[in-house]
Amino acid sequence: MKIDENTYLKHKRMKVYSLETNSVVKRKWFLDLLTCMFGIGSWILVNSLYTQFPLLVQNAPEGWNLPSYLSIAVQTGNLGPLLYSAWRKKFGNQYDRPLIISILILGIISMFLLAMFYDVTGIIFGKSHSIVLCIFTFTIALVGCTSSVLFIPSLSHYSDIYLVTYMVGEGISGFVPSLIAIIQGIGTTTCYTVERNGQNITEKAQTNANFSSGIFFTIIGIIMCISTVSYLFLEYLPNCKKEKIQTKPESVEAHGTKSIHNSNILLLVIQGVIVFFSNGLMPSIQSYSCLPYGYIAYHLATNLSNMANPIACFVAFYTNRTSKSVIYVLCSICIVSTIYMLMTAFTSPSPPLNNSIIGVILIVFIWVLFVGCVSYVKLSIAAVLRDEGSRGLFHYGCITQIGSTFGALIGFYLINVVQILKSYEPC
């Protein structure tokens, strides 16, 4: 019997609808919850550390230079993926489960120890430094960086729909600590003049945040415990084990043996430049860009921009994220934002509009805009290169780590060696 085109299309739509319906029906809410919580544990430790910069710089012996030291420690965490790659070549993935558990436990221990000893300092080359903070910054960065190559493959035994849930959790890992940090507050510094021995002396009075960084890190440690328990449930809970599927061997095409298309080489260059600034240089100099406008400006810029990351990724999932035109437009916005942020940092301690409300609003807006656009661009470039196969994503990962590392090194050099950026005391 001959079927006309309209009937065929209607049948096809009904078939697709049926498949989508079946997919929704088969979805298990407890797996969504567990994979989401597991995803939160991937980067929440590193993200939580960044949210505390505005508080930590107030009392750390490094002062405004602290972010440059911690950025180097974070980049050193890339040793994790390198060590895992060597491990995988020798042993394969048969030990991934105990490795993941070990990494998660390392994160828990590091966060609770950080909560107790984050303000402990030591003498290095005759100067006081936040030794404990730097050490545990490295260990928690080790957790985050290694999660990129270790956590996601562990979900291959479940349906692909739960990978999306994991990515949602990974996005929430930036949102949750920022929300807690905003509730935590920043405290205020007030300058006043007192007369002593016939001389007027300027002193400062500082009100504390609603709770300390120690309590903040403890809360994050508890969330990390929940994330670890979620992974253990995924692996050992009978109801979860029933939902596991048999993984199929990958074909040669899946590994992507083709070289990168010439039109996408420009995207790799853009990615390298973007992460040079966003992952390396800008976090190192953010204190110099924001603090002349006050601790509240620094606090808001840090936490609202951290929230902009998952929001931008969420928007990207529902838009044409592979459009190169959109990528180029957003890159232009990133360039303008970067120029303004660099200008405020290099003109510290007296950047434009630093004594006005407009200046505060503008610097916070620029930082949030920058991080939001960068997050969208990075995800878009990854989506385009995904079509090149695993080789495209491999190059994407390599250029990301190289650009980030060089950015952090340049930031450290400018701040601590050349000492080209200047800080100031409010009183």
- Count of residues for the chain? 427
Predicted pLDDT of residue 262: 65
Question: Is residue 413 in a domain?
Answer: yes
Do 318 and 232 sit in the same domain of this protein?
no
Residues 215 and 292 in one domain: no
- Residues 342, 233 within the same domain: no
Whether residues 266 and 145 share a domain: the answer is: no
Give the CA distances from residue 239 to residues 96, 163, 205, 232, in Å, rounded to whole numbers and listed in that order: 21, 18, 57, 12
Please give the residue that has the higher pLDDT: either 162 or 381: 381
pLDDT digits (tens, 9 = 90+) for 38-62: 889 888 998 899 888 888 888 888 8
Confidence of residue 16 (pLDDT cuts 50, 70, 90): very low
C-alpha 339/C-alpha 296 separation (Å) is 22
d(CA 193, CA 206) in angstroms, rounded, equals: 14
Between 423 and 245, name the one with better pLDDT. Answer: 423
In sequence order, the β-bridge partners of residue 129 are 122
Query: What is the band of 160 on the pLDDT scale with cuts at 50, 70, 90?
Result: low
Region 143-154 average pLDDT: 80
pLDDT of residue 54: 85
Count of domains forming the chain? 2
Overall average pLDDT of the 118-130 stretch: 84
**DSSP notation for 376-420:** HHHHHHHHHHHTT-HHHHHHHHHHHHHHHHHHHHHHHIIIIIS--
Q: In this predicted model, which residue has the larger pLDDT, 212 or 242? A: 212
The per-residue pLDDT for range 18-34, each reduced to its tens digit, is: 333 344 436 777 888 88
Specify whether 290 is located in the same domain as 175.
no
Residues 161/27, Cβ–Cβ less than 8 Å: yes
Q: What secondary structure letter does DSSP report for 261?
A: P
Identify whether residues 172 and 294 lie together within a single domain.
no
Residue 313 contacts by C-beta under 8 Å, 6 or more apart in sequence? Answer: 167, 171, 375, 376, 379
Q: Which residues, at least 6 apart from 272, have a Cβ–Cβ distance to it below 8 Å? A: 399, 400, 402, 403
- Residue 295 has phi, psi (to 5 degrees) of -65, -35
At CA 100, angle to CA 98 and CA 104, rounded to 5?
115
* Whether 211 and 77 share a structural domain: yes
Statement: residue 310 has pLDDT above 90: no
110/186 same-domain check: yes
Q: What is the DSSP string of 67-102?
A: HHHHHHHHHHTTHHHHHHHHHHHHHTTTTHHHHHHH
Clarify whether residues 234 and 354 are in a common domain.
no
* Same-domain status, 178 and 101: yes
What pLDDT is recorded for position 252?
Answer: 40
Contact 280, 403 (CB under 8 A): yes
Q: How much is the average pLDDT of 359-372? A: 93
Residue 91 is predicted with a pLDDT of 76
pLDDT of residue 22: 43
186 vs 270, higher pLDDT: 270
Please state the φ and ψ torsions of residue 162, each to the nearest 5 degrees.
Answer: -80, -15
> For 194-225, how does the pLDDT look when each residue is reduced to its tens digit (9 = 90+)?
767 767 676 666 677 888 889 999 999 999 99
Task: Identify whether 170 is part of a domain.
Answer: yes
pLDDT the model gives residue 90 = 80
Lowest mean pLDDT among 138-147, 237-246, 324-333, 401-410: 237-246
Burial of 96 (0-12, 13-18, 19+ CB in 10 A): middle
Give the per-residue pLDDT at 204: 66
Q: Establish if 412 belongs to a structural domain.
A: yes
Classify 123 as helix, strand or coil: strand
Evaluate whether residue 130 is within a structural domain. yes
Same domain, 299 and 237: no
What integer best gives the mean pLDDT of the chain?
Answer: 80
Assigned domain for 250 exists: no
pLDDT category at 358 given cuts 50, 70, 90 is very high
In a domain, 7, yes or no: no
Per the structure, the complete domain to which residue 216 belongs is given by 24-244
Examine the pLDDT at 362 and tell me if it is beyond 90: yes
User: Of 244, 275, 305, which residue is a domain's last?
Assistant: 244
What's the pTM value of the predicted model, to 2 decimals? 0.75
Which tens digit of pLDDT belongs to each residue from 282-306? 988 888 899 888 888 888 998 898 8
Is residue 161 domain-shared with residue 298, that is, in the same domain? no
Mean per-residue pLDDT for 61-70? 85
Q: What is the domain-level CATH number for residue 206?
A: 1.20.1250.20
What does the pLDDT read at residue 342?
94
Residue 16 CA to residue 12 CA, distance in Å, equals 6
pLDDT of 245 = 66
Domain C-terminal end among 187, 211, 244: 244
Domain final residue pick, 194, 209, 244: 244
Residue 12 is assigned to a structural domain of this protein: no
Percent of the chain with pLDDT over 70: 81
Residue type, 258: K
